[in-house]
């Protein structure tokens, strides 16, 4: 865990007026991302209120020195892999300097102002070249709800409380927030049909997850000790693991998800650092009475004490009818990362435990994070009880699964008494009709 410093002080305010009280990007957050302006080159920047602080311009203006300068030089690129690889000391140096530059009473304010772009003029892109993507399954309520649809008496498989379950996903189809996704065509077979057919998925779903960017990697064959795992985390984002349930149901045995999940995954574009989230660290939710203890390679006292975090997650649905009638988005779920059965450090330690090498810019997904009840269900599969009980919207529409034109929006909020609330920005995408 990072030590709290002046960058977390609640009294620190920015001369960028929109940052003060901003739901996502006050000066205490400072997430990093990749943007472009007017279709120009990709550049790195830091979100501050409704503006983006351009790291490359700030470097040219001589606003950095020492370790912060080295970090800014690595970050001033069209993708952040080299910067993510540097790890915590470089991140902290850059954070402290950028925080000072954007604070009220900064002596270099006029120079800093020349490095700011209005966010509304910028397009956001993927923050890094994602070499590999692995999606876990650590949301225990999600695993229980989904398992119950198939196995009412024993929803969790016997391995669940021993192994952080995951599958290797597809990195090439990960998209930045705002890019529409296309409904996949695929092979499905209705339960009462004799043979499968090929066509548009009719059970398109979302999954509410967080993503974790890997910072420093590990060498092939060298596991990551659980006590060191946090040092490999470069930051966090929101992740929508779009899922075609009908394709999934037909293809998933015996090897797990394949085309049901490889057509698109959407992430929020800002990398929120472990330092920004440090005030919101909490103890891992204690395991239920009778649950097994993690094996030693997955257990660390410090990780149990502060390896979880308190992050509120919200999933919203916008339909064309809701927009036309001027109605607000429909809240599908309000959940929290406290419902993760395994910590991010446990996910990392497990992933590398057999010798697999993680690399800077790799993305790990948490798996769907649902709470215990329907109001916190992080997928439609759960919220509609397997596609049986429709969700009713204020527009008079109903949904079992997503329709063309629907948009899913995720947001995240970290709050704690005595600290300034921070968010992640939106993870949003609209569903386009399947290709004919």
Scanning 43-51, 130-138, 294-302, 340-348 for contacts with Ca ion by CB under 5 A, the matching segment is 130-138
**Is the CB of 83 or the CB of 242 nearer to Ca ion?**
242
Q: Which of 103, 107, 78, 118 is nearest to 13 (CA)?
A: 103
Q: Which of 137, 213, 117, 111 is nearest to 171 (CA)?
A: 213
Min dist CB 314 to Ca ion, Å, is 18
Min dist CB 134 to Ca ion, Å, is 10
What are residue 330's phi and psi, to 5 degrees?
-90, 125
Min dist CB 209 to Ca ion, Å, is 6
Q: Which of 95, 276, 87, 260 is nearest to 187 (CA)?
A: 260
Min dist CB 402 to Ca ion, Å, is 15
Over the window 232 to 251, marking each residue x when it contacts Ca ion by CB under 5 A and - when it does not, the resulting string is ---------x----------
Q: Which of residues 62-121 bind Ca ion (CB under 5 A)?
A: none
**Is the CB of 24 or the CB of 135 nearer to Ca ion?**
135
Min dist CB 367 to Ca ion, Å, is 5
Min dist CB 373 to Ca ion, Å, is 20
DSSP secondary structure string, 371-429? -SSGGG-SSHHHHTTTTTSPEE-TTS-EESS--TT-EEEEEEEE--TTS--EE---EEE
Binding residue (CB under 5 A) for Ca ion from 132, 135, 303, 407: 135
Answer whether 360's CB lies under 8 Å from 234's CB. yes
Indicate if 351 belongs to the active site. Answer: no
**Is the CB of 209 or the CB of 406 nearer to Ca ion?**
209
- Return the H-helix or E-strand segment holding 111: helix 109-113
Q: Which of 120, 115, 156, 98 is nearest to 37 (CA)?
A: 120
**Is the CB of 15 or the CB of 167 nearer to Ca ion?**
167
**Is the CB of 241 or the CB of 275 nearer to Ca ion?**
241
> Cα(369)–Cα(245) distance, rounded to whole angstroms?
17
Question: Measured at CB, which residue is nearest to Ca ion?
Answer: 241
Scanning 79-87, 133-141, 181-189, 397-405 for contacts with Ca ion by CB under 5 A, the matching segment is 133-141
Contacts with 83 (C-beta within 8 Å, 6 or more apart), sequence order:
32, 44, 71, 74, 75, 77, 90
Answer whether 171's CB lies under 8 Å from 130's CB. yes
Alpha helices, H only, 136-176: 140-150
Answer whether 208's CB lies under 8 Å from 240's CB. yes
**Is the CB of 241 or the CB of 362 nearer to Ca ion?**
241
**Is the CB of 53 or the CB of 160 nearer to Ca ion?**
160
Task: Kindly name the residue from 8, 141, 142, 351 that is annotated as catalytic.
Answer: 142
Scanning 15-23, 117-125, 135-143, 415-423 for contacts with Ca ion by CB under 5 A, the matching segment is 135-143
Min dist CB 139 to Ca ion, Å, is 9
By the rule CB under 5 A, 382 interacts with Ca ion: no
Q: Which of residues 189-218 bind Ca ion (CB under 5 A)?
A: 207
DSSP secondary structure string, 305-356? HHSEE--EEEEEEE-HHHHHTTPPPEEEEEEEGGGBSS-HHHHHHHHHTTSP
Number of residues that bind Ca ion (CB under 5 A): 3
Scanning 127-135, 177-185, 303-311, 393-401 for contacts with Ca ion by CB under 5 A, the matching segment is 127-135
Q: Which residues bind Ca ion (CB under 5 A)?
A: 135, 207, 241
Catalytic residues: 142
């Amino acid at each position: 865990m990072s030590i709290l410093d002046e960058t977390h002080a609640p009294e620190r305010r920015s001369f960028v007026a929109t940052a003060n009280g901003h739901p996502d990007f006050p000066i205490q957050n400072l997430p990093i991302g990749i943007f472009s302006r007017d279709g120009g080159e990709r550049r790195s920047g830091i979100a501050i209120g409704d503006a983006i602080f351009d790291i490359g311009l700030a470097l040219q203006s001589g606003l950095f020195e020492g370790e912060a300068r080295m970090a800014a030089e690595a970050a001033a690129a069209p993708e952040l892999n080299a910067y993510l690889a540097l790890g915590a000391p470089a991140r902290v140096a850059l954070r402290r300097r950028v925080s000072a530059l954007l604070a009220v009473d900064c002596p270099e304010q006029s120079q800093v102002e020349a490095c700011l772009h209005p966010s509304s003029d910028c397009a956001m892109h993927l923050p890094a070249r994602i070499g590999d993507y692995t999606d876990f399954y650590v949301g225990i309520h999600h695993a229980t709800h989904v398992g119950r649809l198939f196995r009412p008496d024993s929803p969790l498989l016997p391995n669940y409380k021993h192994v952080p379950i995951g599958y290797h996903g597809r990195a090439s189809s990960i998209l930045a927030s705002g890019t529409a996704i296309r409904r996949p065509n695929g092979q499905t077979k209705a339960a009462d049909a004799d043979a499968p057919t090929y066509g548009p998925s009719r059970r398109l779903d979302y999954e509410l997850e967080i993503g974790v960017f890997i910072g420093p990697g590990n060498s092939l064959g060298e596991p990551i000790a659980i006590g060191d795992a946090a040092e490999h985390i470069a930051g966090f984002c929101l992740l929508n693991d779009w899922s075609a349930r009908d394709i999934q149901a037909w293809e998933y045995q015996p090897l797990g998800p394949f085309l049901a999940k490889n057509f698109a995954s959407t992430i929020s574009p800002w990398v929120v650092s472990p330092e920004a989230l440090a005030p919101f660290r909490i103890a891992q939710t204690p395991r239920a009475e009778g649950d097994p203890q993690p094996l030693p390679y997955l257990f660390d006292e410090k990780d149990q004490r502060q390896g979880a975090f308190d992050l509120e997650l919200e999933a919203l649905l916008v339909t064309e009818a809701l927009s036309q009638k001027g109605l607000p988005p429909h809240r599908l779920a309000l959940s929290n990362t406290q419902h993760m059965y395994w910590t991010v450090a446990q996910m990392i330690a497990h992933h590398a435990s057999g010798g697999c090498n993680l690399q800077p810019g790799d993305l790990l997904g948490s798996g769907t994070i649902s709470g215990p009840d329907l109001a916190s269900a992080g997928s439609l599969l759960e919220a509609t009880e397997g596609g049986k009980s429709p969700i009713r919207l204020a527009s008079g529409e109903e949904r079992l699964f997503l329709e063309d034109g629907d948009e899913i929006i995720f947001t995240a909020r970290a709050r704690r008494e005595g600290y300034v609330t921070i968010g992640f920005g939106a993870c949003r995408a609209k569903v386009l009709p399947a290709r004919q």
